[in-house]
Each structure stands twice: as C-alpha cells, then as structure tokens.
Amino acid sequence: MNTITIDYGTLILFLLVLLLIISIFGFVIRKLLGVERKKCFSYTYFNERHKKLDLSVRIVFMILVLISSYYTNYNDTVEIAWYYDLWFIIIVFLVVSEMLRAFMEWRYAENKRAYVATIAEMMFTISIVFLTIKTDFFGLFNT
C-alpha cells in the first residue's frame, strides 16, 4: 500500500504561489487589454437578468452537489462515475458561471474587451488547475 506524506506547510506555500501566478496573469491580461480590474471577492451584475441567471446557475449546481453527495454516500458500487465527483461539478460550475459573466460582459459592458479578459483568465486558471492535478502537484508530493 502506497502512502502519501504531505508537508502541509509546503502544500499551503504551493497553493499560495499558484494563487499568486493566477492573480499576476489576471492583472497582466487586464492591463494589456485596457480592462478595469475586478474587485476581490465581489461580484457585480450588469442588470437584473444577469442577477437572475447567475442565481439560477448557483441553485442548479447546489442541487447537483447535493445529488452527487447523496449518490456517493449511499451507493453500494465499488467505483463512482467521474461526473459524480465533487471536483468535476465545481469545475463545471466555475466554467458555466464565468462563461455567463463573459457573455454578459460581451453584451452589456462598456469596455467590450472585458469578456476576452474573463475568458483568458478562466482558461489560464483551468489550465493551471488541470496541470497541477495531472502532474500530482508537479511531483511535489511523492507516493
């Protein structure tokens, strides 16, 4: 049986570095495109329709998380399908949410290049997360 030894200090430092890289990319891409920087931990809606659509997306994904949790906890099968995994549902939620935001920026924002920055940031973040997962944190934690 393989065991993974994790140094939590190293893990936290690694995640902070990834967050810093993603933030720097967002800053640079928005600077290059001349788009106003997003405020941290805030979400602005362009209109009432955007607010309702975003709320609908969030409710649907919360329901999916609950269904997934129920299914994975009470299913007797040996292996659960990958689309019931919480990480998959969260990634799909983030993509759908950001694509909705990009569409609303394309449609209603004063600076029409804002949606390009949103899509670029989303693609970069997904790439970094996928690369991190597929390389086992770049080989940082060996089994």
- When mean pLDDT is compared across 15-19, 38-42, 84-88, the lowest value belongs to 38-42
With a cut of 80, say whether residue 4 has pLDDT above it: no
pTM of the model: 0.82
Give the pLDDT mean for 87-96.
90
Residue 50: strand, helix, or coil = helix
User: Percentage helix, strand, coil, to 5, in the chain?
Assistant: 70, 0, 30
| pLDDT score for 51 | 94
Instruction: Reply yes or no on whether the pLDDT at 1 is more than 60.
Output: no
CA distance 83 to 99: 20
Can you read off the two tokens belonging to residue 21?
A: 């890289």
pLDDT exceeds cutoff 80 at 13: yes
State the Cα–Cα distance between residues 101 and 81, nearest whole angstrom.
29
Question: What average pLDDT does this structure show over 103-116?
Answer: 93
> What per-residue confidence (pLDDT) applies to 20?
95
Domain boundaries of the chain, sorted by first residue: 8-139
**Burial bucket for residue 16 (CB in 10 Å: 0-12, 13-18, 19+):** exposed
Copy the structure tokens of residue 36. 């106003």
Residue 78 identity (one-letter amino acid):
V
Q: Which pLDDT value is given to residue 142?
A: 64
Choose the most confident range, by mean pLDDT, from 36-40, 58-62, 75-79: 58-62
Least trusted range by pLDDT, from 37-46, 53-62, 74-83, 95-104: 74-83
Length in residues, the chain: 143
pLDDT at 109 exceeding the cut of 70: yes
Question: How many whole angstroms separate alpha carbon 14 and alpha carbon 107?
Answer: 37
What is the pLDDT of the chain when averaged over all its residues?
87
Q: Please report the pLDDT score of residue 73 as a whole number.
A: 81
